Structure 1
Amino acid sequence: MPIEFNDTLVIAISSTALFDLAESHRIYMESGVDSYAQYQIDHEDEMLKPGAAFGLVKKLLSLNETKKDTPKVEVILLSRNSADTGLRVFNSIENHQLKITRAAFTSGNSPYLYAEAFGAHLFLSTNPKDVLQAINAGIAAATIVSPTQSNNDSDIIKFAFDGDAVLFSDEAEQIFQQDGLEEFTRSEKQSAQKPLEGGPFKNFLQALHKLQKEYTQDNCPIRTALVTARSAPAHERVIRTLRYWDIRIDEALFLGGMDKTKFLKAFGADVFFDDQEGHIDRAKSHIPSGHVPSGVINE
């Protein structure tokens, strides 16, 4: 029977998010695809350095070490390389001892369709166009614009999410952008009992929650945090929405417009997802971060 990933968290990742391919990209931009291809072939036995999402991927794959017969996480490589030039990437995967065995090489085409075919809960890339296509196809996706090293040295994997236009739809954000804070607050207080619609990362959070339930709360290796600019009284609708979804968030930070960066550092996030590039720009030098091109802010 064909292999299925029904009870597995599936992460799709581009080669440029997994490894540092800056020099290869420079050659491609300056000299074209033929020179790039030859460079990759000439250096295919030279191990690539970790990229923006390497630390996160390594920690996620470590969850499989306890139950190797039934992996909890599957990481799939999606690459614009050809199979020929992608050999260097696979050699580096082997040299770094990452248990990644499945891949799609598309020879320059966008690989986002394969994220859906593999059943990916999350697609991480450094190519904003690929990420936008994935978001439009209903896949949780983000452009990684972060340091190559994880800020969290513990064994616990920590995910931080913005709320509106990431976990939730941007219905409330639209009111804020159009009518201002006062009307946003009035509307959210009035709608406190009405759950928000899900955003692009709802299904990913749901998959994380399902994985978390395989552990006791005291021994869970995954921790989640909502880090939002909302404050009271707009907090109530968020709490009731998560309760309605029956999804656990371990920590919720209602910051009322304060800069999120120092709170993300205090949480020790392995990755932070937000729809606003300004928040990403402030956080990315300290916290591995992913821009989610969703909602009215990104129109």
Structure 2
Amino acid sequence: MPYDLSDKLVIGISSRALFDLEAENAIYAEKGVEAYSDYQRAHENDALEPGTAFPLVKALLSLNELIPERRLVEVVVISRNTPDTGLRAFNAIAAHKLDISRAAFTGGGPTAPYLKAFKIDLFLSRDTGDVQEAIDAGVAAAQLYTAPTEYSAPENQIRIAFDGDAVLFSAESERIFAEKGLEAFAKHEQRHRKKAMKEGPFAKLLLALSEIQKQFPPTECPVRIAIVTARNSPAHQRVIHTLRTWNVNVDEAFFLGGLKKAEVLQAFGAHMFFDDQEGHVETASVVVPSGRVPYKGGQLAGGARKTAGASKPAARAAKR
């Protein structure tokens, strides 16, 4: 019988999101693919340090040990590397004793066409283009920022934090703000406070995590979910009614009304934080692993944001 991934949470991850390959990526960017390939082969048995997503992946895989009779999570390496240069990633997986056995190495070709073939629920990469293509293909994806220099993952728990609009929920309300301003946004949300929002790119991931939570007694569940949003009263009401409609109970919610998210995320101890706004992701990534969720088809029209403090885009090198 073929192995069935449809009843599992499947994480797709690039080798550079899983391990620290920044020096190697610099060789690729500065000297080209041949120099990069030569370096990877020469160092394929050298140890690789954890990358931004390593704590999350390790924690999610640990769920399989809690319910041995049923695997809840699978992780697939999906990379633009060739099989030859990808050998170093598999050597590192073995060295770190990660329970990962599947991979797709596209040899420089696009990765997005393979995400649905592997039933990927969440794709994590350092490459902006690969992430955008995944989002456009209808797969939850995030571009990971550099891991914080001082971060200690919570033990015996998995803590994941989400922004709301354009991440868990659709960008409809975000567009109203961008086109008509904050007052129009507030009136719209108050008028529709009991109407559930449409699903955003990460809604299905939230539902999948909620199903995993239901496999454990509430007092013993290792998965904790938080919403950390710039919304505040009275716009918080629509968030709560939406979650009720989806039959999802988040463990914690923070309605910050424009306050910075980083300190709350550090207190929560997130293994990963997902947000659509570069400014929020950049500040959060200093204290917790963080990823930016791009809009479908690129940036929201007008480029406006509901909160102050969104910084200018950071220059990012091409990622593998």
TM-score when scaled to structure 2?
Answer: 0.90
- 1:154 CA drift (Å): 2.2
Check if 1:143 corresponds to 2:167. no
Structure 1: 5+ residue stretches without partners? none
Matched, 1:90 2:90: yes
Decide whether the 8 Å contact of 1:275 with 1:297 is kept in 2: no
Counterpart secondary structure, 2:175: helix
Residue 167 of structure 1 pairs with residue 168 of structure 2: yes
Could you tell me which residue of structure 1 aligns to residue 305 of structure 2? Answer: none
Match runs of 1:198-237 below 5 Å: 198-237=199-238
Find the aligned partners of 1:27 and 1:271 in 2 and give their Cα distance.
28
SS of residue paired to 2:239: helix
- CA distance in 2 between counterparts of 1:187 and 1:67 reads 45
What is aligned with 2:114? 114
Per-residue deviation, 1:297: 5.1
**In the aligned structure 1, how far is the partner of 2:267 from the partner of 2:290?**
15
Q: What is the aligned residue count? A: 299
Asked if the contact 1:151/1:269 (under 8 Å) is kept, the reply is no
Structure 2 Cα separation of the partners of residues 99 and 254 of structure 1: 37
Classify the secondary structure of the residue corresponding to 1:98.
coil
SS at match of 2:62: helix
Provide the rounded CA distance (Å) in 1 between the counterparts of 2:86 and 2:300. Answer: 32
Aligned equivalent of 1:154:
155
Q: Which residue of 2 aligns with 1:33?
A: 33
| Superimposed CA distance per residue, residues 4-40 of structure 1 (whole angstroms, 9 cap, x where no aligned partner) | 1232111000000001111211211222111111111
Q: Deviations over 1:260-279 (max 9, x none)?
A: 11111111111100000000
Q: Is the 8 A contact 1:151 1:270 kept in 2?
A: no
Whole-Å separation in 2 of the counterparts to 1:112 and 1:69: 32
Structure 2 partner of 1:240: 241
Query: What's the CA shift for 1:153?
Result: 2.6
Identity of aligned residues (%): 51
8 Å Cα contact 1:10-1:121 kept in structure 2:
yes
CA distance in 1, matches of 2:117, 2:204: 16
Greater shift, 123-132 or 112-121, is seen at 112-121
Instruction: Give the superposition deviation at 1:298.
Output: 4.3
Name the counterpart of 2:132: 132
2:192 — aligned with what? 191
Q: Which amino acid aligns with 2:46?
A: E
User: Aligned to 2:45, what secondary structure does the other structure show?
Assistant: coil
- Correspondence for 2:44: 44
Corresponding letter in the other structure for 1:234: A
Structure 2 portions without partners, runs of 5+: 302-320
CA contact (8 A) 1:146 1:290 kept: no
* CA distance in structure 1 between the aligned counterparts of 2:78 and 2:164, rounded to whole angstroms: 27
8 Å Cα contact 2:275-2:291 kept in structure 1: yes
Classify the secondary structure of the residue corresponding to 1:116: coil
Quote the offset at 1:68 in angstroms. 3.6
**What do the CA deviations read for 1:63-105 (whole angstroms, capped 9, x no partner)?**
1113344211100000111111111110110011001000000
User: RMSD over aligned Cα, in angstroms?
Assistant: 1.4
- Once residues 33 and 234 of structure 1 are traced to their aligned partners in structure 2, the CA distance between those partners, rounded to angstroms, is 50
**In the alignment, residue 166 of structure 1 is paired with which amino acid?**
V
For 1:168 and 1:115, locate their aligned partners in 2 and report how far apart those are by CA, in whole Å. 22
Letter matched to residue 125 of structure 1? S
For residues 113-161 of structure 1, the C-alpha deviation after alignment (integer angstroms, 9 at most, x for no partner) is: 2121111110000001000000011111000103167543321110100
Q: TM-score, normalised by structure 1?
A: 0.96
Q: Which residue of 1 aligns with 2:55?
A: 55
